[in-house]
Structure 1
């Protein structure tokens, strides 16, 4: 998540330098290339982070199942294609021959990626529901279930707002107010990142990772048995 924020910041810096040089000299002086490079890594890392959090990796379990690995294998190549389509759209105009086709490809790939990242979250919610019924620690599982449901709702709102609402406003608003759509999109991204950090931050005595006294005593007993066996 920290690397994602760093790449995101570098992308924004390159975007501002690109706009400044274009407005002053008419050419980006290579800042557009840096912007696309950091945007490429930002897109891949964003969906990777969402998939990892959605699967509960390192939070509910320290490993990924095969179906969850398959989601990553699908999402990452699609993100590569999406970034290629984005570069083609950005560097050409509506007057070019295949501009509309690339625009539709970009939108289709974006929708597929957004739908794919929902599956790991749904799997985690389903597993937590089953665990809350059979496991004696229902209260803790209920807390985790509530957190992942809130994460799912927040992700749906974030993707819908940045992919649908902002894109619709770009087509409606005058070109002079283009900066307003960027403010809305980046503001939504900031709110989404803050939500992730606040709810999944690595803090001491995390309530979702607490070990019961019974489990702790049983673990100590196992260690004592192992030591006595070695002796």
Structure 2
């Protein structure tokens, strides 16, 4: 978000302070803002229509969408003002503020869904609370490092150190959010062996395994693949790395909000009672056969 060197548009000679590789970003952020605004409106409509099925986690997810939308509009205004005047006029500060809260909320949502909060149980265990209390301070440090990296450059003293701190903390946060999902998978696997409602437990076990895989792929792509893209592409196509990251974000958010929306008898979370009763009867029949 630094002040850029003055450049001129090759077609009309108008001043353009954005580097050539970032001139596409205002259009990209505008498209994303329209998408997420519609996304937020749709989520509010769904929650209003399904008020009896709305849990606390759905409200937290709504806050995440709101913060994401505000972050995108700040990024749009930041790039627009830099392109026209060379300075962000305070939009960079707003961008960093909303980026911080969005990052904290995103990791919180992943942890809460991963623990099964509101879906499997209405409470958090002590170890899950510890994970949250561990990740939130790390997100504070990560965003401080992100601001320093964004507002300075390699020529600045200590820039490489802050860059290393940022990468280390980001990796730790990404690894930490995996544990709650693994715990839920383990508990569901154990319950599927002992609980009478086998079908429901196996269904939820499959769900959390899928969620685990999606989170791993998302974190790997946005942290590793995007970095490789940014390092390999020509400076004229700097926007490609941003587009790749934002595309991954959109796909990830769509997956979460589609599959964990507040609907009655959500097929992603709940089996029909008939299926559960059939599975329970089958399980009891197997037990009677084994005892006999």
Q: TM-score, with normalisation over the residues of structure 2?
A: 0.71
Structure 1 Cα separation of the partners of residues 272 and 229 of structure 2 = 48
Pairwise mapping of residues 110-121 of structure 1 onto structure 2 (< 5 A)? Answer: 110-121=170-181
Partner of 2:284: none
Q: Describe how 1:120-139 pairs up with structure 2 within 5 A.
A: 120-139=180-199
Structure 2 unaligned spans of 5+: 1-60, 277-292
Determine the C-alpha separation between the residues in 1 that align with 2:246 and 2:159.
Answer: 25
Give yes or no for the alignment of 1:42 onto 2:102. yes
Q: Does 1:84 align with 2:144?
A: yes
Cα shift at 1:206: 2.7
How many residues are paired up? 214
**What whole-Å deviation, never above 9, does each CA across 1:77-99 have from its counterpart, x for those lacking one?**
00000000000000001100111
Determine the structure 2 residue equivalent to 1:62.
Answer: 122
Distance (whole Å) between structure 1 residues aligned to residue 76 and residue 125 of structure 2: 41
Q: CA deviation at 1:2?
A: 1.1
CA RMSD of aligned residues (A): 1.4
Give me the TM-score of the superposition, normalised by structure 1. 0.90
**2:241 alignment partner in structure 1:** 181
5+ long unaligned stretches in structure 1: 216-231
> Which of 201, 216, 219 does residue 156 from structure 1 map onto?
216
Is 2:142–2:169's contact at 8 Å kept on the other side of the alignment?
yes
Aligned counterparts of 2:249 and 2:211: Cα–Cα separation in 1 = 14
Q: When you count helix as a share of all residues, which structure comes out higher?
A: 1
CA displacement at 1:144 relative to structure 2:
0.2
Q: Deviations over 1:127-171 (max 9, x none)?
A: 000000001111110100000000000000000000111012112
State the Cα distance separating 1:199 from its structure 2 match: 1.3
Deviation at 1:210, TM superposition (A): 6.0
In the alignment, structure 1 residue 198 sits paired with structure 2 residue 258: yes
Measure the CA separation in 2 of the matches of 1:131 and 1:23: 57
2: distance between equivalents of 1:63 and 1:77? 22
Counterpart of 1:220?
none
Equivalent in the alignment of 1:229 = none
1:212: how far off?
4.9
Is the counterpart of residue 13 in structure 1 residue 79 in structure 2?
no
Matches of 1:6 and 1:178 in 2, distance apart? 27
Deviation string 1:197-220 (CA, Å, 9 cap, x unpaired) is: 12111101234346858x9xxxxx
1:203-218 residue pairs with structure 2 within 5 A? 203-207=263-267, 208-209=269-270, 212=273
RCO comparison, higher one (Cα < 8 Å, 6+): 2
- Aligned to 2:137, the other structure's residue is in SS state helix
Deviation string 1:58-80 (CA, Å, 9 cap, x unpaired) is 00000000000000000000000
SS in 2 for 1:33: helix
